[in-house]
Chains A and B, each alone.
Chain A
Amino acid sequence: NQALTRRYNSIFKRKEVCIKEW
């Protein structure tokens, strides 16, 4: 459950990386 939560919470950071890359 915690791993799932951590993965869910990383979405914001991933969005930022995508914006910077693309």
Chain B
Amino acid sequence: QSYEYDEGSETWPFFVLTMLFVVLVPLSISQIYRLFLDRSNATEYGDPEQEKVQKILEEVNDEFVTEDVRVFRQAYEKSARSNIWSKRNIVLIVGWALVAFLIQRIRENDAIVASATGLFDPYALLGVSPSATDRDIKSAYRKLSVKFHPDKLSKDLGGEERARIEEMYVQISKAYEALTDEITKANYLTYGHPDGPQTVSHGIALPSFLVDRVASPVVILIYAVMLSIVLPYFVTKWWSRTNSFTKKGIHVKTASHFVDRLANFKPSEIVTVDLIVNWLSNAEEFKIIFPNLTAADFEELIHDHIDRTNNSRLKDPKVRFRIVSKCHSLLHGLLDLACGVRNTEIANATLETFKCIVQAVPHTPYRQILQLPNVNKEKFLEGSVDEIYTLGKLFTYEDKEIGKILGIDDEHKLKKTLTVASHIPHLKLIKADFLVPGEPQVTPSSTPHISVKFLVRSAKQKIIPPEKFPESMLEEPQDFEFQKDPFSILESQPPMPYSYAPFFPTKRRNALCCLVALQKDGKLIQTPVVIDKLSLQNLNKDFDKRQVKDLDENFKPEEWSIGTIKIPLGQPAPAETGDAFFRVIIKSTDYFTSDLDFTMTMQVRE
């Protein structure tokens, strides 16, 4: 009924210590992970070929990045990296200092020390280590009992001394019994003392001054403020922030705007990049960052970025950079929603818009060429006798010719341009199947996935026909591990390196978006699958199509790396046997290149 308060400061330090540990230990672990183990910003992949490609692209990127972009990137990277004096670090430092202070206080507190030493430790009493055997315990007891036996004591000892030694003897006997006698041992293990349950006191682990008449109104006030102001404030802030954003990371108002545009979209309208940019310009995220600007302003800024002009009335490049860098998540969100309403044309246009924004190139027929650095647009457009739209076509000419076509006179500049051109990954389809792990074919109502085998190649390299690659290079392991998780093969590929994108405000990595549509109605059937791991080592190979004329006996297919993409299907195979036709689209988000767009037959057989 009557609770004791912690007058002697025996227990409240432990309480505060526990609270501190609850906060500090997870925080410390996560901070250590972030500082030392987080690999998401890595430029080392453990894959020397991939690092080689990375290095080449980084060098070229650095050469062509403008000063404005460089400054913006530095500021962005600085804020992303953890600062020494960030809030987290300060909390950690102060927290651990408090812990040290409390531990020191506990050690200096005699009352705590006394109650700790009051604990019954049979091993210490017998003078043996906790791992001693029964024989050691017996011999230790025998020695001590001889020393402390009341009958063996000298008659000269005073009453106090005698009492002390007798008490000692009792303790030693108890200790011996606690370790050997069954009943006493049970008592010791259950209650911590061989005599059974000791007195237990219950109290409140808080000093009494907190509840004394003087301090208690203050404590109540603190409680009131915490419960009625501080707690609701933080919970509301957290809740509205969580509620404001969809799973894909875009604002709910932006998402509902996109859904509205998608639902009211007329099939007679042709989807263009301009249309997508117009939809983007109404994003809520932009309004939050720049409340004073209108949708028309945002649209103009994005167009300025794509056309590499500066027509907007807002001349500060930071405004444009923030808007453009936000487009990444907005476009991914729109892509997801477009797949949700099954609109293939809009999904495709979203990906094309992505490329236009990343490369700052408008969606003209010449976009593959215009994404290259140093191109003299006027000379190129008026010059070509033979219509050149693709990098592949460009590389049918000798380097000097290419310089003339692109209007590049400087040899050093031409070399850089050709480096970029030959390091843009192109995909060549080798094989695509519907696979059901453990089955030789697709059976009715099974769950197949799509397995795509392709070659990553440079536009400069000679085309290798798919037949040149033996089945052994394309087949997959059939062991149990593979059947359990057929998608594990994707994890073995290294992450994509940073892209060549000197106009995009932040450093970014290429990704491949995979869309699947039904050929019967031409509509998409599932959300996009984004691939961010792919080996680009083939880009390092010297296989210039202007020099290699024929694929002779010296051609070794094993030297080439085959890329794999696995696309899970969102629905099972049809319940009846027959053929179903699917269109698979695999597009790069960052480059204008030869993407994959092909038809696959699902042969459903018993």
Chains A, B in direct contact (C-beta < 8 Å): yes
A residues touching B (Cβ–Cβ < 8 Å)? 6-7, 10, 14, 17-18, 21-22
Q: Does B35 contact A (CB under 8 A)?
A: no
Q: Does B587 contact A (CB under 8 A)?
A: no
Query: Could you tell me the dominant secondary structure of chain A's interface residues?
Result: helix
Are B268 and A7 neighbours in the complex by a CB distance under 8 Å?
Answer: yes
Q: Which residues of B contact A18 (CB under 8 A)?
A: 270
Are B268 and A10 neighbours in the complex by a CB distance under 8 Å?
Answer: yes
**B267, B270, B272 pick with most chain A CB within 10 angstroms:** B270
**What is the bound-complex CA distance between A18 and B270, given in angstroms?**
8
List 15 A-B pairs, Cβ < 8 Å.
A6-B268, A7-B267, A7-B268, A10-B266, A10-B268, A10-B269, A14-B268, A14-B270, A17-B270, A17-B272, A18-B270, A21-B270, A21-B272, A21-B363, A22-B365
B residues touching A (Cβ–Cβ < 8 Å)? 266-270, 272, 363, 365
In the complex, given contacts A17-B272, A22-B365, what are 5 additional A-B residue pairs having Cβ atoms less than 8 angstroms apart? A6-B268, A7-B268, A10-B268, A14-B268, A14-B270
**What is the bound-complex CA distance between A6 and B152, given in angstroms?**
119
With both chains docked as a complex, state the minimum distance between the C-beta of A22 and any C-beta of chain B, in angstroms.
Answer: 6
**What is the bound-complex CA distance between A22 and B389, given in angstroms?**
12
**What is the bound-complex CA distance between A22 and B365, given in angstroms?**
6
The 8 residue pairs across chains A and B that have the minimum distance between CB atoms:
A10-B268, A17-B270, A7-B268, A14-B270, A17-B272, A21-B272, A22-B365, A14-B268
**What is the bound-complex CA distance between A18 and B272, given in angstroms?**
10
Q: Which residues of A contact B270 (CB under 8 A)?
A: 14, 17-18, 21
**What is the bound-complex CA distance between A22 and B268, given in angstroms?**
18
Q: Which residues of A contact B269 (CB under 8 A)?
A: 10
Q: Which residues of A contact B365 (CB under 8 A)?
A: 22
Query: Could you tell me the dominant secondary structure of chain B's interface residues?
Result: loop
Residue in A closest to B266 when the chains form the complex, CB atoms:
A10
**B267, B268, B269 pick with most chain A CB within 10 angstroms:** B268
Residue in A closest to B365 when the chains form the complex, CB atoms:
A22
Q: Which residues of B contact A14 (CB under 8 A)?
A: 268, 270
Q: Which residues of A contact B267 (CB under 8 A)?
A: 7
**What is the bound-complex CA distance between A21 and B272, given in angstroms?**
8
Q: Which residues of B contact A7 (CB under 8 A)?
A: 267-268
Q: Which residues of B contact A21 (CB under 8 A)?
A: 270, 272, 363
Q: Which residues of A contact B363 (CB under 8 A)?
A: 21
With both chains docked as a complex, state the minimum distance between the C-beta of B349 and any C-beta of chain A, in angstroms.
Answer: 11
Q: Which residues of B contact A22 (CB under 8 A)?
A: 365
With both chains docked as a complex, state the minimum distance between the C-beta of A7 and any C-beta of chain B, in angstroms.
Answer: 5
Q: Which residues of B contact A17 (CB under 8 A)?
A: 270, 272
**What is the bound-complex CA distance between A14 and B272, given in angstroms?**
11
With both chains docked as a complex, state the minimum distance between the C-beta of B264 and any C-beta of chain A, in angstroms.
Answer: 14
With both chains docked as a complex, state the minimum distance between the C-beta of B388 and any C-beta of chain A, in angstroms.
Answer: 16
Q: Which residues of A contact B268 (CB under 8 A)?
A: 6-7, 10, 14
**What is the bound-complex CA distance between A14 and B271, given in angstroms?**
10
**What is the bound-complex CA distance between A21 and B268, given in angstroms?**
16
**What is the bound-complex CA distance between A14 and B365, given in angstroms?**
18
Residue in A closest to B273 when the chains form the complex, CB atoms:
A21
Residue in B closest to A6 when the chains form the complex, CB atoms:
B268
**What is the bound-complex CA distance between A7 and B80, given in angstroms?**
50
**A7, A21, A22 pick with most chain B CB within 10 angstroms:** A21
**What is the bound-complex CA distance between A17 and B273, given in angstroms?**
11
Q: Which residues of B contact A10 (CB under 8 A)?
A: 266, 268-269
**What is the bound-complex CA distance between A22 and B267, given in angstroms?**
20
Q: Which residues of A contact B266 (CB under 8 A)?
A: 10
Residue in B closest to A11 when the chains form the complex, CB atoms:
B268
With both chains docked as a complex, state the minimum distance between the C-beta of B360 and any C-beta of chain A, in angstroms.
Answer: 19
**What is the bound-complex CA distance between A21 and B267, given in angstroms?**
18
**What is the bound-complex CA distance between A7 and B365, given in angstroms?**
27
Q: Which residues of B contact A6 (CB under 8 A)?
A: 268
Residue in A closest to B363 when the chains form the complex, CB atoms:
A21
**What is the bound-complex CA distance between A18 and B267, given in angstroms?**
15
**What is the bound-complex CA distance between A18 and B363, given in angstroms?**
12
**What is the bound-complex CA distance between A21 and B362, given in angstroms?**
10
**What is the bound-complex CA distance between A17 and B267, given in angstroms?**
14
With both chains docked as a complex, state the minimum distance between the C-beta of A9 and any C-beta of chain B, in angstroms.
Answer: 9
With both chains docked as a complex, state the minimum distance between the C-beta of B387 and any C-beta of chain A, in angstroms.
Answer: 12
**What is the bound-complex CA distance between A10 and B265, given in angstroms?**
14
Residue in A closest to B270 when the chains form the complex, CB atoms:
A17
**What is the bound-complex CA distance between A14 and B266, given in angstroms?**
12
**What is the bound-complex CA distance between A21 and B266, given in angstroms?**
19
Residue in A closest to B271 when the chains form the complex, CB atoms:
A17
**What is the bound-complex CA distance between A17 and B271, given in angstroms?**
9
Residue in B closest to A17 when the chains form the complex, CB atoms:
B270
